[in-house]
Structures are given as C-alpha cells and as structure tokens.
A and B are shown apart, each in its own frame.
Chain A
Amino acid sequence: MSRFSFRFYYISLAILLIISLIISTRVGAVNISYEQIFTFFSHKLGFSYDPDPNSIQQALFFQIRLPRVILCAFVGAALSVSGALMQALFRNPIVEPGLVGTSSGAALGAAFVFVMGKTIAGPFADAIGPFMLPFFAFVGGFAATILVYRLSSVFGKTNVNTMLLAGIAVNALASGGTGFFSYIARDPQARSITFWNLGTLSGADWHAVELVGISTTAGILICLRYSKSLNALLLGETEAGYLGVNSEKLKMKVILINTFIVAMATSIVGVIGFIGLIVPHLLRMMKSSDNRFLIIASALLGAILLNLADMVSRILVAPSEFPIGIITAFVGAPVFLFILIRNSRRQQQGGFYA
C-alpha cells in the first residue's frame, strides 16, 4: 500500500495528462511546433500579432489534430473506467468490456450499419446517418451484455464463472455475425469493418468529441455515486446485502451505464482492447482498490495511455497510420501476462494480488 494520498495521484495524473495531450498535438503526418500551436490559439482567440499564420496547418490543427487528441483522451477514459466498473461488479480482475460481450456486440451493431445502413436508412440517410452507428452499436452492445447477464443468472443469482463462459459463447456468436456481414459486404464496406475491428481514431471530428465527451463524462459522474456499493460488493453479494447494498439492482444500473459509455466510444473508434484491463490493474497495484479512486484515476491514466498509444500509431508509419487496437494488444497482452504470472506465484497464499 502506497503512502501517497489519493489527491497526490489525481494531481500527478492530471499533470501527466496535460503534458501528454500537448506533446500529442505536435506529432503526426505533419509536425507542428509549440510556437505554431501558441500562434494558432492566440489567432483563434483574436489577439494575435501575427497577421497570417499558416492557414492550412491551422486548419489541420483545429479540424483534425486537436479533436483527435481530445477524442482519444475521452475514449481512453471511457474504456478504462468501464474496465474498473466491470472488474468490481464481477469481482474478477480479468474482466473487461471485451470479455462480457459489450465490445463484440457493439462491433456487430456497427458492422450491420456499415453493410445495411444505406439500405435501411433509404432517403433519410442524410438526416439519421450520423446517429445510426452509435445507436446500433449501443443496441448491439447492450443486447450482448444483457444476454450474457441473463444466461449467467438462470438460477436467480448471477454467477461469475457462468458469466465468463456465457461471455465466451456470446462473443463467438457476435463475431460470427460480424464475420457474416464482412462476407456479404462489398469491398469498401468490408474494409471499414476490418479497420473498425482493429480500432482507429482517424474518424475524429468535433461531432465525435461531443458525443463521446458527453457520454463518458456523464457516465463517470453517475458511476461515482455507486463506488461505495461497488466496494461493498468486494465482500460477496450476500455480504454486501448485509451492508445494505441491493446487488441485483446495482448490477443492472452499472451494466447499463457501462454499456452506454463503451458503445458510444466504440461506435466512433472501433474495438480497442486491453486498455480497460491494464489500467485498473496498474492503479490497484500502485495504490488501492477503492472504487472511487479507481474510477477517477482510471479515467486519467486511461486517457494518458491511449494518447501515448495513438501517438505511436501516428509516428510508426508516418505519414500513414497504424490501427491503434493492434498497438494496445501488442503492448497490453504481454504486460497482462507478466502481471498474471507474477501474481499467480503468490496467489496460493491469498487473493489475486496478495
């Protein structure tokens, strides 16, 4: 247990986040210097002495780079908080949105829109087009999560092991569905499905920032209210009940909010794995399993790490870019295995982290 206070972690993580955001706005297909960023902002705010800043670069900065960096921070926060919530809910450190069906269900919803969207929207494509992807991603993610939840609570109470197995089955079903859509898809559609499944932030614009920013912030603020009940759940469902927690209701509420923030983020950037698994892990080892701390700190650390990953994805094959989901998987999976092996040696003596 660390000696530093919660506040110390919040402040350090917030400072790191700001630094990573600033560095991240600089790099990419076109590098932008700090002086330029400063000039762009002062010009935008109307008190620039420089009459003619580089207008193409300025447009690139405000229309592409900045929204992307901010979107990335929100997505990182959404996925990490979701991981923290799901792990607390299922009292299992290996749970993340990908495992209980949320991501793959959302992916199926998105694949459906990619292939069938034009057909079902018909003449209203222009009007409802932008909302179809988030909507169907939410429907898909929610349906899959609820299916897993229902399957695992056949005997009245939700059993974690059954839930994980049901998650595997529903994931397989959803990926089968996604596979079907890519099979019947024409080439550009199939390419969007593939890219989307690997995760990419290239679709970022201010509309996306608004959508993900609002849903994530609202979701996190609501979930903070449940942090104490989620802590009590650590004792077990019956024992949490003795402390006044209605665990069945709590589960429903948290799954709903969780699916909402994951589906909104996923509908824009696609499937990005492991971030939701690793971030709460790191924080638990650094400081505490208190869910209030985990939710706030996961949002900050998740934003930092996904920003770093996105920076790498832009630098690696510049001026093109690399799917970010591949980077998080390549970095995340070995880190996860390392943690798993190190902990399993001590596991016999107690809990997962003992």
Chain B
Amino acid sequence: MLRAENIFFKVGNKVLLHETSVAFEKNRFHVIMGPNGAGKSTILKILAGGEKPSGGSVFFLGKEISQFSQTELARLRAVLSQHYNITFPISTNDMVMMGRYPYFKTVPSKTDKEICRMAIAVMEAENLLDRDYNTLSGGETQKIQMSRILAQIWETEKNDNKFLFLDEPVSHLDLKYQHQLLQVAKDMCKKNITVIAILHDINLSMSYADRILLMKRGEIKYEIKNQHEITTDIIKDVFDMDSKIFDPGNGHKPVVVF
C-alpha cells in the first residue's frame, strides 16, 4: 500500500498542494483527474519521491520513503513523466535498456535484455527498435518510454509489490493505443502492481479506473470508487463544464457527454 500523511507543497507563498492525507490500495488502478493547475503532477511527483513535500511524509509498504536507498526505490516504482527533452542521439533500444539500470552494473544480463524485449512486445513497439529516439513522433516516444518504465518494474518470478506512476501517459497516442496502453497498465494490476495515473479524458478514466480522485486548486475534492457515483454536479464543480450522464445499464460503464 502507498500512503501519504499530511503532505503539502508550496513554492514561496503559493500553495500548490493543500495539506492532505491519502492512501492507495495495492493492485488497483487509481486515476487522478482535475483541471490544469489543480496540483495533479505535484502530488504525483511527491508520491513517487521525485519532489520533497514542504511537510508530511510518504510511506511505501509502511516504510517512510527516505528510509529507502535510491536504488531500492528505483526497483520499487517507475515513473512516466509528461515530457522528456532528450538532447543527444540515442537508439530506442538503449532508451528502453535504461529501465534496467537499477539492476546491472556495467553490462546488462541476459535477463535484462529479455525483460526489455518483453516490455517492448507488450507495448507493440517492435517496429520502433533500432531507431534514433529523436526521430520518433510524440506517440511513438510515449510507447518507448512506457516500455522503459515497464522494464524497470518487471519482475518475472518474485511477487513483490511494485508501483507505476503515469503522468498523462496517453496524451500523444491515437485512439487504439490509448486503450492499448491503459489495458497494459490495467493488466499490470494483476501482477502485484499498483497504478496511479493522471488522465484528462473522463470516459477513458471511467473505463479503466478502480478509483478516481478529482482535484481542484490543490485539493482532492472528490473520491469516486464506483463509476455510478459520478454526477453532473461534480463535473460542473471540478471542471466547470455542463454535461449529461448516460447510464446504459447491464454492466456497462456510464458515459459522460458534453
């Protein structure tokens, strides 16, 4: 389980995240949503240990985050960031292999290579191998980065709890691969991996999430555990948008129309 206690974050006098405590049940797909500037990326970074909170603590599996060494943490959780600004030429293969850096010293083992191959296969990115990363399109870089992240927390035998943080993972992907990536992440939940993702599309979130956190102005305003709990009032409050909700019934998820 991942737990945050009384975390808050401010830059100067500006509070980007108000004091909050939040827990993430293991092996579930958690989605964070909210308008721009609501503090989604901030809370994700703090949870992942990429940014120190101004106060409060984060606990992975009951242990405070600072008690882990950098390498231990790197083997425990992987993070897909929103942007990567790569200044030097690098092959897509080398990029994915970076995911295995926490596991080998100088030369990758056979297992490392095999894991990279499997991660790439899961992302259906084989056709992108042996290319210069900088010549890829936005969606293609997302597939390669996702492969790298998966390789980082891929465990073949051990059933350790692991965490996957995704900051807008589908922003550049076409329709098919949006669903493909989220399905991959969803399948990971069955392999003892807890997923925490920031998404912008409410219907996409409703189809994959086990739980949705709605943020506004640095606060978690709503927690939706069941898709049927979502109402037009909540959407109006969080996103300032008028909407209609259709519930097709017989097991289908409700659909939000704007």
Instruction: Pick out which of these stretches binds chain B: A48-56, A121-129, A228-236, A297-305.
Output: A228-236
Are A242 and B78 in contact, with the CB atoms below 8 A? Answer: yes
- Give the chain A neighbours of B94 by CB distance below 8 A: 231, 288, 290
Contacting residue for A350 out of B75, B105, B135, CB 8 A: B135
Are B101 and A93 in contact, with the CB atoms below 8 A? Answer: no
Q: Does A284 sit within 8 A of B, measured CB to CB?
A: yes
Give the residue name and chain of the B residue nearest to A235 (CB).
Answer: B84
Q: Does A289 sit within 8 A of B, measured CB to CB?
A: yes
B60 to chain A, nearest CB (A): 14
Which chain B residues in 48-106 approach chain A with CB under 8 Å? 48-51, 69-71, 73-75, 77-79, 81, 84-91, 94, 98-99, 101-102, 105-106
Q: Does A341 sit within 8 A of B, measured CB to CB?
A: no
Query: How many chain B residues have a CB neighbour from A under 8 Å?
Result: 35
Q: Does B134 sit within 8 A of A, measured CB to CB?
A: yes
Q: Does B210 sit within 8 A of A, measured CB to CB?
A: no
Are B86 and A234 in contact, with the CB atoms below 8 A? Answer: yes
- Give the chain A neighbours of B45 by CB distance below 8 A: 238
Contacting residue for A234 out of B50, B74, B75, B88, CB 8 A: B88
Which chain A residues in 303-323 approach chain B with CB under 8 Å? none
User: In the docked arrangement, what's the CA distance between A352 and B86, Å?
Assistant: 9
- Give the chain B neighbours of A239 by CB distance below 8 A: 79, 81, 84
Are B86 and A244 in contact, with the CB atoms below 8 A? Answer: no
A248 to chain B, nearest CB (A): 11
19 A-B contact pairs sorted by A residue (CB < 8 Å): A87-B88, A231-B101, A235-B84, A236-B85, A239-B79, A242-B77, A242-B81, A243-B102, A244-B70, A244-B101, A245-B70, A246-B70, A288-B90, A290-B90, A350-B134, A350-B135, A351-B89, A353-B89, A354-B134
Known contacts A1-B91, A351-B85; can you find 4 more A-B pairs with CB under 8 A? A242-B78, A244-B71, A353-B132, A354-B134
Which 4 residue pairs of A and B lie closest in terms of their CB atoms, listed nearest first? A244-B74, A354-B134, A289-B88, A350-B134
Residues of A within 8 A of B (CB): 1, 87, 91-93, 227-228, 231-232, 234-236, 238-239, 241-246, 284-285, 288-290, 292, 349-354
